[in-house]
């Protein structure tokens, strides 16, 4: 038995750990918001807002916005500065963390073509 295989195994383990760290860092790349929580909470929004980014039903698209803008708009509904009773009710139930999570999720979605 030489030490070589063990050293090689150790090296590949180190690489695997490093890669996991990088992948984890990428998943967390959007500051603030917990994207997975946002995806879960987005179920409530999907009945009205289309995940494709289309607005042909008359309800505006909310995908691919900068996080800060998304959170600012949600807060203004919560504060009733923006005048829409549906969105005021929905935003009124959301915490700052939940708004940041929704911003991270919707902000990460790209518009899809109309053919589906």
Residues lying near ligand HEC in the complex (CB under 6 A): 41, 44-45, 47-49, 59-60, 62, 70, 73-74, 82, 84, 86-87, 90, 102
**Cβ proximity to ligand HEC, 44 vs 96, nearer residue:** 44
User: d(Cα 90, Cα 100) in Å, to the nearest integer?
Assistant: 14
- In the complex with ligand HEC, the residue whose CB is nearer, 22 or 44, is 44
In this structure, what is the dihedral angle of CA atoms 44, 58, 89, 95, given to the nearest 10 degrees? 60
Least separation in angstroms between residue 87's CB and ligand HEC is 5
| CB of residue 27 to ligand HEC, shortest distance in Å | 21
CA distance 19 to 4: 22
Q: Which CB atom, from 5 or from 47, has the smaller least distance to ligand HEC?
A: 47
**13 half-sphere exposure, CB direction, 13 A CA radius:** 6
Q: Are 105 and 64 in contact (CB under 8 A)?
A: no
Nearer to ligand HEC, 13 or 81 (CB): 81
């Amino acid at each position: 038995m030489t030490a070589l295989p063990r050293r090689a195994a150790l090296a590949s383990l180190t690489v695997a750990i490093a890669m996991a760290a990088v992948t984890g860092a990428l998943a967390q790349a959007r500051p603030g918001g917990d994207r997975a929580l946002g995806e879960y909470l987005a179920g409530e929004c999907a009945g009205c807002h289309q995940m494709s980014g289309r607005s042909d039903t008359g309800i505006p698209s909310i995908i691919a916005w900068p996080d800060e803008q998304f959170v600012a708009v949600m807060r203004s509904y919560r504060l009733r500065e923006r005048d829409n009773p549906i969105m005021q009710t929905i935003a009124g139930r959301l915490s700052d963390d939940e708004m940041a999570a929704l911003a991270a999720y919707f902000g990460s979605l790209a518009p899809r073509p109309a053919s589906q």
